Chains A and B, each alone.
Chain A
Amino acid sequence: MTILRRTALVFGLPSVLFAAWWVFSAGSVDFYRPPLSSILAAFAETWFGSRIRDDVLPSLLRLAAGYSLALVLGIGLGVLIGLSPRLRIAVEPVLEFLRAIPPPVLVPILILFAGIGDLMKVLVVVSGCVWPILLNTVEGVRAIDPVLADTCKAYGIRGADRLRHLVLRSASPQIVTGARQALSVGIILMVISEMFAASSGLGFTVVQFQRGFQIPEMWSGVLLLGLLGVLLSGLFRLVERRVLAWYHGQR
């Protein structure tokens, strides 16, 4: 496929949807559904100023902190649980219980323990992101090829070498799958955590606009969140292509 064709395919549907929105909203006089043109005007005004520093950046930093923490916790615990069948049997019911709790209901509880600052918001992100990473890591570690495990054993590849070259790499396709799910969960929770008791952030700003009947601004916030999602998943794909080059090359 030529690059031109590919680009046309990638941008085709978004352009059509965008154009449709533009055309069908053009004459709108409905206060709650303003024309796209006025949303875009509000977009530039709203977000290309100090809000990038005051709201967008704090949101992204909380997301980054929560997501990274969830990666460390999820992969670390997942490897431990995946390597020990006994530990897995012991903790599985608890994990299923904890996983079934929707993270947003934890927000009021976390406020009690962690206050209403950044820590609470980071913890909300962690509480949602950790599960897909953890459970996928466990499955990935369990699925290590027995021949490869025997190879390590026979050649005395143990300890840190084994962890790095066998366990983590074997599980990496599954870990990446979990991390991808966790990323979209993380964006949602970032916004939700900012809708409660916050003084900055994207979620906070969107709610503020809604309460202040600044409808085009509110819509522009939704648009920005969608664009951030696209950007982050693009970044994720770049990292994935590097980490899993061997995996995609093999098939």
Chain B
Amino acid sequence: MLDVKHLRKVYSGHGRTVEAIGDLTFHVAAGEFVTVVGPSGCGKTTLLRCIAGLLPATAGEIRVDGRPVSGPPPGLAVVFQEYGRSLFPWLRVADNVALPLRRRKLSTVERRKRVHDALAAVGLHDSLEAFPWQLSGGMQQRVAIARAVAYEPRVLLMDEPFAAVDAQTRADLEDLVRDVWRQLRITMVFVTHDIDEAVYLGQRVVMLSRSPTHVLDELTVDLPDERDQLGTRSDPGFSKLRARVYSQIRAAKAPVDLGKTAS
């Protein structure tokens, strides 16, 4: 479904070249929930922007559904970290969700139903008429998720979507994302720096090295599909997985000398 082969990304400009991604290869099967975790500044966002076709790769290849990515692939939706800036402040919540559907050949009734269902799925059925800035941060990110859901993508990319919300909201949103995935069975790539979140959410965790990035290790999360914040997180299996990811990431960070941390 999603194939990343020998991806390399070098930023150059202002007399400086930065190798953000060295050589990345991994595969995501259709309907799989993969979380990508790595130390901060390891090029996670760069990877995601390359997959979304928002950034050209320097070398290597990305295929979505067998087709090489050269621009934003159809059937792919993105939820950005900066929820406050990815929603249109001049559009009401319902219109924000409806805007990407304008190009689809849908009747007004169908479109309205989709928007309504998506917002209901994230628990915002009574905020259709609100403007995004009238909502809390967590609710805004729910709107962004609803927009992605209404788009009915085959692949959903999420770029540290909960990095800027408080811990309780974050737990709720994690469960929401799990629910959405279990209902729709779409392919999910969820990027995060939070090890617990990566293990809690994913079926598989891809661990990245620091920049220039390559895949350190992949780990299958052999926890049951039915997860909940209290039970799963106190499960010994969860702790074991968490410890494995943690030690890998720490080992990856170790040789960094201070002041030379990659950005």
Which residues in A have some Cβ–Cβ distance to B below 8 Å? Answer: 145, 147-148, 150-151, 153-158, 161, 165-166, 169, 172, 246-247, 249-250
Contact = CB atoms under 8 A, between A and B. Distances in A.
A148 B100 contact: no
Contact of B91 (A154, A165, A172, A250): A165
Interface of B: 49, 52-54, 72, 74, 76-78, 80, 82, 85-86, 88-91, 99-100, 102-103, 131, 133-134, 147, 151
B54 A154 contact: yes
A217 B77 CA distance: 68
Given A153-B72, A157-B103, 13 more contacts: A145-B85, A148-B86, A150-B80, A155-B99, A156-B100, A157-B99, A157-B102, A158-B103, A169-B90, A172-B90, A246-B89, A250-B89, A250-B131
B88 A148 contact: yes
B72 A156 contact: yes
Given A147-B85, A161-B99, A165-B99, A154 B133 contact: no
A145 B84 CA distance: 11
A245 B53 CA distance: 34
A247 B72 CA distance: 30
Contacts of A246: 89-90, 131, 133
Given A154-B76, A155-B99, A148 B133 contact: no
Contacts of B100: 155-157
B90 A154 contact: no
B72 A154 contact: yes
A147 B77 contact: no
Nearest to B83: A147
A169 B88 contact: yes
A165 B134 contact: no
A6 B52 CA distance: 52
Contacts of B151: 155
Contacts of A249: 131, 133-134
B102 to A, nearest CB: 6
Chain A CB count within 10 A is highest, among B49, B53, B89, for B89
A206 B102 CA distance: 55
B80 A147 contact: yes
Contacts of B89: 246-247, 250
A56 B54 CA distance: 55
A79 to B, nearest CB: 16
22 contacts: A147-B85, A150-B52, A150-B78, A151-B78, A151-B80, A151-B86, A153-B53, A153-B54, A153-B72, A154-B77, A155-B78, A155-B100, A156-B72, A156-B103, A157-B100, A157-B103, A165-B99, A169-B88, A172-B90, A246-B89, A249-B134, A250-B89
Contacts of A156: 72, 74, 100, 103
A166 B99 CA distance: 11
A247 B88 CA distance: 11
The list of the 4 closest CB pairs from A to B, nearest first, reads A155-B100, A147-B85, A246-B90, A154-B78
Contacts of A169: 88, 90
B115 to A, nearest CB: 14
A103 B133 CA distance: 42
B145 to A, nearest CB: 13
B140 to A, nearest CB: 12
A157 B103 CA distance: 8
A157 B49 CA distance: 17
B85 A155 contact: no
A145 B54 CA distance: 15
A155 B88 contact: no
Nearest to A169: B90
B143 to A, nearest CB: 12
Given A147-B80, A150-B54, A155-B77, A161 B102 contact: yes
B22 to A, nearest CB: 24
Nearest to B82: A147
Contacts of A148: 85-86, 88
A66 B100 CA distance: 37
B255 to A, nearest CB: 33
A249 B91 CA distance: 12
Chain A CB count within 10 A is highest, among B53, B54, B78, B88, for B88
Nearest to A154: B78
A247 B147 CA distance: 22
A90 to B, nearest CB: 22
A38 to B, nearest CB: 52
A155 B74 CA distance: 8
A153 B78 CA distance: 10
B163 to A, nearest CB: 14
A22 to B, nearest CB: 47
A127 to B, nearest CB: 32
